Amino acid sequence: MRTDSSPQTIFRKDYLPPSYLVDTVELGFDLDPARTIVASRVTLRHNPASKSRDIVLHGEALELVQLRLNGKTLRPGQYELSGSTLTIRKAPLAVVLEIETLTAPVKNTTLSGLYVSNGNFFTQCEAEGFRRITYFPDRPDVMAKYTVMLRADKALYPVLLSNGNLIEQGELGDGRHYAKWEDPFKKPSYLFALVAARLVCQEERYTLQSGREVLLQVWVEEGNLDKTDYAMQSLKNSIRWDEQRFGLELDLDRFMIVAVGDFNMGAMENKGLNIFNTKFVLANSRVATDIDYAGIEAVVGHEYFHNWTGNRVTCRDWFQLSLKEGLTVFRDQEFSADMIGTDSGRAVTRIDQVRTLRQAQFPEDAGPMAHPVRPDSFVEINNFYTVTIYEKGAEVVRMYQTLLGRDGFRKGMDLYFERHDGQAVECDDFRAAMADANGRDLGQFERWYSQAGTPVVRAETNYDAIARTFDITLRQHCPASAGQEHKLPFHIPVAVGLLGADGRDLALSTDAKDRQGQATVVLELTGEEQTFRFHDIAERPTPSILRDFSAPVVLEYDYTDAELLHLFSHDSDPVNRWEAGQRLAMERLLKLTTAVATGKPLALDATFIAAQRALLVDETLDPAFRELALILPSETIIAEQMEVVEPQAIHSARQFMRRTLAAALKPELLAQYHANQTPGAYSPDALSAGKRALKNLALSYLLIAPQEAELALARQQFAEAGNMTDRAAALVALIHSGAEVGEHLHSFYQDFEHEALVVDKWFAMQAAAPGTDVAAVRKLMEHPAFTLKNPNRARSLIFNFTNGNPSQFHAADGSAYEFWAEHVIKLDALNPQVAARLARSMDRWRRYTPALQAHMQRALERVAAHARLSNDVLEVVSKALA
């Protein structure tokens, strides 16, 4: 909680090297939920790179019992305690600090630092949680070797884990026991972790490519041991993949994953002891969907890959967060794509990434919390674990690979580790490694790190039939964002192909003599405007621009319907094929929305319906691709295209389109429903998951205005499904159709009330149903299974309503905004990080109709005026109101 009145903004330009470096840290924990004693012995030495001789330690929510410097106890006047810093002035060059502090883990509802979840102890230290455990220079550029002694009641906490290797364990008498862990690698404090718990593990000895054997463990609560196989398999796949793709080997003898039910984010890459939200560990076919399985593979990969990109080479300061996060997201994306293995499978993962960017990152980049991939300032670092840092950051890393090629990218990675292993570095160091390893000047590329906002690339083309040339002129501009009025041109790779009238790629010859005859060329747009010429073009082609989404930009090109239909049925680049369908749908959705708003009649043209039909039944295409191509742009994405957002009109327009397609395509939908069944034992592989996705999309369409036969299908699927994907999909379809909802919801709950992650789904599907208004959400909050204290549960109901149910969240009377304000405030008193995420549901408030804006402003002001807000929430609401 904030103690002074105005929160401090921290600026990147104010970075100073640490005054003291830490060599070793010895930590002793006497674990007790109400009163844990932490004894720390830290050896420090003055950093020659610093002019200051003051030792600055951070501490929060701690009771300081004792502080000794080189053996002598310091009394209050000999150090300064203010806010969350403890300063010892004019310290000697070499210092041993002994610090004893007290904390109350059971009272720690923030889930940052040391806390209790279901009776067990866990830690979360990134970004600044270590300071809630002991006083320490809690910054990522202070790296030290840790030895950790854990003491706890043996019956209650039989398992005692920390980073690195277990070097000693034994009994203490009194029913207590101890374990001593040593991490052989230097690390920043944010990578520290401990677990003291009643848990069991699935373990396996695994042989690395080098022949070295390692121990892999997945720790869970006893009842969940039947849900660890996929996480373990994903871990082994990750280890192998990093060896093969990047030549990076696991550097420890032991690697542990621990699942915890109360967790603010997805997972955490603590050295050798990854701690995960149960959502990203636990799976079997009964409780987890295909999407859950994919999430587990991605997050296990992500955290494992951090061992090199994050842990071995870490961040100098938190402004560099994307150095590790953007790079590691890119690595987990490539891992997931490689695990599928086929080109079309890769494309499906790529399309998913583009959808996430448009759904979440583009709006962020255009809203009050917009920030560059490497921010210049922040109030609360926890607010900067964003889609910009993660997903846009991954796009920036991907562009290196697009520009340098896979081999060039690998050379850059190799040089990065050669130069920086064991160091805390900056985004610029990564860029320099990429440039130097490839002899390229990537100076202009730096703007992707320093300028916020989504660049808009406008394309125009000109075909000269006599000269047989085709020119593409690209113009770029980037809208202003807070503190950045005028942007300089970005270095943008624009992958282009040209389709002939027969739908095939033309062999391209450009002015770049080295790359002739290819189907796709990467144009490098570096100026504000550039024209690229293609030679020997015998007919006017249809351009396929920004293939594979080669840069995180908005592409504007005045495609005709005929061109889009041509691309939608023929483009060899699946991403642009999908994109053509999205453009066709978006144009119509925007017109329909206007028609709804102005009371005009609604209609959908036969051409569009025919194109959707042709795609739906095209057996040459993967089911997974067809499913993605048939999903209409979301209400959120439609809203982003509008000058003034009218959520109800958008909802009605999209529903109209869905209803019309469902009616027109009914026989085909039914046929696909039956053709894409996956009988036999459940397997989460991409092909089966794709079939289920297409089948369940068909089902959802068939249940839009269902007759008895369709209802029977859904009921049967719900009753007989052999896996959660199909069961949940049938239930969602039934809920959305409004038929017999209560009975099915009840039986689903009965079947799964002891599976927390399934209960989350139960809340989530109701929260996002168009029939659920704010009164219904309030009612659900009274359900005995609901609690605000568990982030997964709070998100399942509240976030899925505020972010996933726009037509109800934006109810005309503003009642849902009041609900939002109330819960931001309530959550903030428990868990500021989660509250601040909820606060962001209001980011785009200025884009709504004046009446809605007025309601939203009032709700924002109500939160802002609350007396005891965290810095987290205060930063979000004050930026929204600014």
Please give the residue ranges that form the binding site for ligand ARG (CB under 6 A): 124, 126-127, 264-265, 267-269, 302-303, 325, 382, 385, 833
SS3 (DSSP) at 794: helix
Query: How far apart are alpha carbons 869 and 863 in whole angstroms?
Result: 8
Write the DSSP assignment of 28-97 as a string of letters: EEE--SS-EEEEEEEEEEE-TT-S---EEEE--S-EEEEEEETTEEPPGGGSEEETTEEEE-S--SEEEE
Kindly state the tokens that stand for 659.
Answer: 């209803």
For 596, 736, 808, the CA distances from 646, given in Å and listed in that order, are 10, 21, 12
Kindly state the tokens that stand for 649.
Answer: 């009109």
Query: From Zn ion, ligand ARG, none, which one binds at residue 267 (CB under 5 to 8 Å depending on kind)?
Result: ligand ARG
- Smallest distance from ligand ARG to CB 711, Å: 43
Query: How far apart are alpha carbons 772 and 342 in whole angstroms?
Result: 40
Residue 543 or 832 with smaller CB distance to ligand ARG: 832
Cβ proximity of 88 and 135 under 8 Å: no
- Smallest distance from ligand ARG to CB 111, Å: 8
Query: From ligand ARG, Zn ion, none, which one binds at residue 855 (CB under 5 to 8 Å depending on kind)?
Result: none
Query: How far apart are alpha carbons 208 and 212 in whole angstroms?
Result: 5
- Smallest distance from ligand ARG to CB 393, Å: 11
Burial class (CB in 10 A: 0-12, 13-18, 19+), 733: buried
- Smallest distance from Zn ion to CB 325, Å: 5
Residue 103's DSSP bridge partners are 36
Query: From ligand ARG, Zn ion, none, which one binds at residue 265 (CB under 5 to 8 Å depending on kind)?
Result: ligand ARG
- Smallest distance from Zn ion to CB 349, Å: 18
SS3 (DSSP) at 141: coil
Query: How far apart are alpha carbons 466 and 473 in whole angstroms?
Result: 19
Q: Which residue has the tokens 């958008």?
A: 650
Kindly state the tokens that stand for 379.
Answer: 């109030």
- Smallest distance from ligand ARG to CB 766, Å: 28
Residue 302 or 350 with smaller CB distance to ligand ARG: 302
Residue 325 or 391 with smaller CB distance to Zn ion: 325
Query: From Zn ion, ligand ARG, none, which one binds at residue 692 (CB under 5 to 8 Å depending on kind)?
Result: none
Using the Cα atoms of residue 262, residue 265, residue 270 and residue 276 in order, give the sign of their dihedral. Answer: positive
- Smallest distance from ligand ARG to CB 862, Å: 26
**Residue 725 parent element (H or E):** helix 724-737
Query: From ligand ARG, Zn ion, none, which one binds at residue 268 (CB under 5 to 8 Å depending on kind)?
Result: ligand ARG
For 41, 168, 522, the CA distances from 179, given in Å and listed in that order, are 17, 6, 56
Query: From ligand ARG, Zn ion, none, which one binds at residue 382 (CB under 5 to 8 Å depending on kind)?
Result: ligand ARG
Residue 75 CB coordination number (10 Å): 8
Residue 312 or 487 with smaller CB distance to ligand ARG: 312
Query: How far apart are alpha carbons 396 and 390 in whole angstroms?
Result: 10
- Which of the following is catalytic: 126, 221, 269, 303? 303
Region of 37-45, 235-243, 320-328, 655-663 interacting with Zn ion (CB under 5 A): 320-328
**Binding-site residue total for Zn ion (CB under 5 A)?**
2
- Smallest distance from ligand ARG to CB 385, Å: 5
Residue 127 or 399 with smaller CB distance to ligand ARG: 127
Region of 69-77, 322-330, 446-454, 719-727 interacting with Zn ion (CB under 5 A): 322-330
Residue 603 CA from chain centroid, whole number: 38
Question: Is the backbone of residue 867 left (phi > 0), alpha (psi -120 to 50) or beta?
Answer: alpha
- Smallest distance from ligand ARG to CB 384, Å: 8
Residue 127: is the preceding peptide bond cis (ω within 30°)?
yes
Residue 320 or 328 with smaller CB distance to Zn ion: 328
- Smallest distance from ligand ARG to CB 329, Å: 8
Residue 41's DSSP bridge partners are 26, 98
- Smallest distance from Zn ion to CB 530, Å: 36
Using the Cα atoms of residue 756, residue 762, residue 768 and residue 772 in order, give the sign of their dihedral. Answer: negative
Q: How far apart are the first and last CA of the chain?
A: 22
Q: Which positions ≥6 away from 314 have C-beta within 8 Å?
A: 140, 143, 187, 188, 191, 324, 423, 424, 425
Residues 324-363 that bind Zn ion (CB under 5 A): 325, 328
- Smallest distance from ligand ARG to CB 295, Å: 13
Any catalytic annotation for residue 643? no
Residues 458-497 that bind Zn ion (CB under 5 A): none
Query: How far apart are alpha carbons 219 and 194 in whole angstroms?
Result: 13
Residue 309 or 461 with smaller CB distance to ligand ARG: 309
Burial class (CB in 10 A: 0-12, 13-18, 19+), 403: buried
- Torsion from C-alpha of 323, 324, 327, 330, nearest 10 degrees: -140
- Smallest distance from Zn ion to CB 785, Å: 30
Residue 325 or 573 with smaller CB distance to Zn ion: 325
Mask of contacts with Zn ion, 281-300, x by CB under 5 A? Answer: --------------------
Write the DSSP assignment of 495-542 as a string of letters: EEEEE-TTSPBPPB-BS-TTS-SBS-EEEEE-SSEEEEEE----S-PE
For 124, 129, 251, 310, 857, the CA distances from 23, given in Å and listed in that order, are 22, 20, 20, 20, 51
Residue 152's DSSP bridge partners are 177
Nearest to 66 by CA among 22, 91, 98, 35: 98
Query: From Zn ion, ligand ARG, none, which one binds at residue 476 (CB under 5 to 8 Å depending on kind)?
Result: none
Using the Cα atoms of residue 589, residue 592, residue 598 and residue 599 in order, give the sign of their dihedral. Answer: negative
Looking at the chain, the number of H-run helices and the number of E-run strands are 29, 32
The residues binding Zn ion (CB under 5 A) are 325, 328
Active site residues: 303
